[in-house]
């Protein structure tokens, strides 16, 4: 049974991803309206009875907006977050629906194996997730200000990598954000730039020249646009003699748009 991925929305205005097999469906975050989530499930032909859980990366509203609505409507739904995050989501789901993991834990939901790992963001205990089924692996790394060796280790074996490319540094610096917010985004607990995402891919290719699918995610509405993110990554890869289509597959996850369904 194939592991599949779809983005219902990815960006500063809201995030929600679907990870599924034929038997099990999981959401990563629920930062868009419940209506859009139900629509995404319908369009991806995902039976609601297969939806077993929502995995929460961190407490910010662009990742948690509709948890309460979904949990209230689907009583069997389980919501997974670490304890620090739960302390900031007190009204999200009934006590019976809340599932607590420790950052670094691995666990099984249905027939999908999940591993949690720490990322660097200005939240209480932000995490990323890896999902595996058989020998296939999907890794989601967004909302992190930098990539350390431990994060690289989590990404190395991923067949499909969802990687943040939040902003163009020059656009951010000359844009309308107040200075404190620019510092936040640019800091080690902020977001990855297009250039940082590209350099991460170069490091991965140098370490292990495995051809993988990469989806650039969480693009800023104000400080980026899709063509710039793609071209920046393409240029830096080519400077290191790596080429899209030959060494890596590269696509974009767009804000407020349902992506195609990717086989991992």
Question: Could you say which DSSP state residue 167 is in?
Answer: B
Residue 12 pLDDT grade (very low, low, confident, very high; cuts 50, 70, 90): confident
Residue 114 is predicted with a pLDDT of 98
CA distances 93 to 76, 140, 212, Å, are 11, 24, 36
Domains, the chain, ordered by start: 4-263 (3.60.15.10)
Q: Which residues are CB-contacts of 122 (< 8 A; sequence separation ≥ 6)?
A: 184, 187, 189, 190
Residue 51 pLDDT grade (very low, low, confident, very high; cuts 50, 70, 90): very high
CA distances 23 to 1, 29, 89, 237, Å, are 9, 20, 29, 37
Residue 1 is predicted with a pLDDT of 61
pTM above 0.85, yes or no: yes
Instruction: Give the H or E element holding residue 154.
Output: helix 149-155
Q: What is the pLDDT of residues 147-159, one digit of tens each?
A: 999 999 999 999 9
Q: What is the CA radius of gyration of the chain?
A: 17
Question: Could you say which DSSP state residue 121 is in?
Answer: -
What tokens appear for 171 in the block? Answer: 């656009």
Residue 207 is predicted with a pLDDT of 85
- String of DSSP letters for 35-90: HHHHHHHHHTT--GGGEEEEE-S-S-HHHHTTHHHHHHH-TT-EEEEEHHHHTT-T
Residue 141 pLDDT grade (very low, low, confident, very high; cuts 50, 70, 90): very high
Largest CA distance in the chain: 52
Instruction: Give the H or E element holding residue 169.
Output: helix 169-174
Residue 256 is predicted with a pLDDT of 85
Residue 142, pLDDT > 70, answer yes
Average pLDDT value over all residues in the chain:
95
Q: Which of 196, 250, 201, 205 is nearest to 226 (CA)?
A: 250
Q: What is the pLDDT of residues 187-224, one digit of tens each?
A: 999 999 999 999 999 999 998 778 899 999 999 999 99
Q: What is the pLDDT of residues 217-235, one digit of tens each?
A: 999 999 999 999 999 999 9
- String of DSSP letters for 16-37: EEEEE-SS-EEEE---S-HHHH
């Amino acid at each position: 049974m194939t592991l599949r991925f779809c983005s219902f929305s990815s960006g500063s205005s809201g995030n929600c991803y679907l990870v599924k097999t034929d038997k099990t469906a999981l959401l990563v975050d629920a930062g868009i309206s419940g209506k859009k989530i139900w629509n995404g499930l319908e369009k991806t032909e995902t039976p609601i009875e297969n939806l077993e859980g929502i995995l929460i990366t961190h407490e910010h509203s662009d990742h948690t907006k509709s948890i309460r609505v979904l949990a209230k409507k689907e009583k069997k739904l389980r919501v997974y977050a670490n304890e620090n995050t739960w302390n900031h989501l007190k009204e999200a789901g009934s006590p019976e629906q809340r599932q607590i993991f420790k950052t670094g834990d691995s666990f099984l939901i249905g027939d999908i194996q999940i591993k949690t790992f720490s990322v660097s963001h200005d939240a209480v205990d932000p995490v990323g997730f890896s999902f595996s089924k058989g020998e296939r692996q999907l890794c989601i790394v967004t909302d992190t200000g930098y990539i350390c060796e431990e994060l690289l280790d989590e990404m190395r074996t991923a067949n499909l990598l969802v990687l943040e490319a939040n902003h163009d540094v020059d656009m951010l610096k000359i844009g309308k954000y107040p200075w404190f917010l620019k510092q936040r985004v640019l800091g080690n607990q902020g977001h990855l730039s297009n250039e940082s995402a590209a350099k991460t891919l170069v490091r991965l290719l140098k370490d292990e020249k495995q051809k993988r699918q990469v989806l650039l995610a969480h693009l800023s509405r104000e400080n980026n646009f899709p063509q710039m993110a793609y071209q920046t990554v393409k240029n830096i890869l080519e400077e290191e003699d790596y080429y899209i289509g030959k060494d890596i597959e590269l696509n974009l996850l767009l804000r407020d748009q349902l992506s195609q369904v990717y086989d991992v």
